[in-house]
């Protein structure tokens, strides 16, 4: 019977390697485009404002979630924000352990709905909600119009 002739030497087994080609190019969209251009060219963080209810949105939205109105006004964010939540990351995207842990957080801005999730440029023991932080940008000229143009948020 089969089960008595089973291969016990695992080196006899073959395997088939594969690589799923799932690369993509993500475009920022109309509101994202303006946000990243402001960031790249002016070094500013900008959101949108609803002229109906006055709510301000970061990341910028083309439509107000409350009024379903198009938002045409653009407003700069305050220079500082407040950490709302933190997370210490110990594994990289591929699941491999990071050499040094990274601190990430959700940063909210006064008068704005939403916030930005980004790296916090603080040590693990200083990462806490309530911390006042400001964005640290890459120098002008080396920015590409991506969220990585922000290096992180520092106290």
Partner 1 sequence: MTARVTRWPGVELGSKDLESGKVTTVRFRPEAKFAWSAGEAMSRFLAELQRGRLIARECKSCGRILFPPRMFCEECFRPTDGWVYVRDTGTIETYSISYLDTDARRITEPILVGVVSLDGASPKMGLMHYFGEMTTKEIRIGMKVQAKWRPPESRVGSVLDIEFFRPRKGAER
- Which member of 27, 130, 139, 142 binds partner 1 (CB under 8 A)? 27
33 counts as binding partner 1 under rule CB under 8 A: yes
C-alpha to C-alpha distance for 55 and 72, rounded to whole angstroms:
12
Task: Compute the least distance from the CB of residue 42 to partner 1, in Å.
Answer: 14
CA distances (Å), origin 79, targets 25, 38, 76, 108, 135:
31, 14, 9, 12, 8
Task: Compute the least distance from the CB of residue 150 to partner 1, in Å.
Answer: 14
Sheet containing strand 116-119, edge to edge, reads 116-119, 97-108, 81-91, 132-137, 150-154
Which is closer to partner 1, CB of 17 or CB of 130?
A: 17
Question: For residues 129 and 113, is the Cβ–Cβ distance under 8 A?
Answer: no
Name the pairing type of β-strands 56-58 and 150-154.
Answer: unpaired
* Contact pattern from residue 89 through residue 108 relative to partner 1, giving x for each residue in contact according to CB under 8 A and a dash for the rest: -----x--------------
Give the binding-site size for partner 1 (rule: CB under 8 A).
33
Question: For residues 62 and 30, is the Cβ–Cβ distance under 8 A?
Answer: yes
Stretch that binds partner 1, among 43-51, 114-122, 128-136, 143-151 (CB under 8 A): 143-151
- Which member of 54, 146, 154, 155 binds partner 1 (CB under 8 A)? 146
22 counts as binding partner 1 under rule CB under 8 A: yes
14 counts as binding partner 1 under rule CB under 8 A: yes
Burial class (CB in 10 A: 0-12, 13-18, 19+), 121: middle
Residues that bind partner 1 (CB under 8 A): 1-3, 6-7, 12-28, 30, 32-33, 36-37, 40, 94, 144-147
């Amino acid at each position: 019977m089969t089960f008595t002739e089973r291969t016990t030497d695992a080196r006899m087994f073959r395997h088939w390697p594969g690589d799923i080609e799932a690369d993509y190019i993500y475009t920022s969209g109309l509101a994202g485009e303006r946000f990243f251009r402001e960031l790249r060219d002016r070094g500013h963080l900008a959101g949108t404002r609803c002229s109906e209810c006055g709510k301000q949105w970061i990341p910028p939205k083309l439509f107000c979630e409350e009024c379903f109105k198009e938002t045409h006004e653009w407003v700069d964010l305050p220079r500082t924000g407040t950490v709302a939540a933190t997370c210490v990351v110990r594994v990289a995207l591929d699941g491999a352990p990071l050499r040094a842990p990274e601190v990430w957080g959700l940063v909210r801005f006064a008068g704005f709905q939403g916030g930005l999730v980004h790296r916090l440029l603080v040590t693990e023991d200083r990462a806490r909600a309530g911390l006042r932080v400001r964005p640290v940008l890459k120098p002008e000229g080396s920015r590409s119009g991506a969220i990585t143009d922000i290096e992180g948020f520092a106290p």
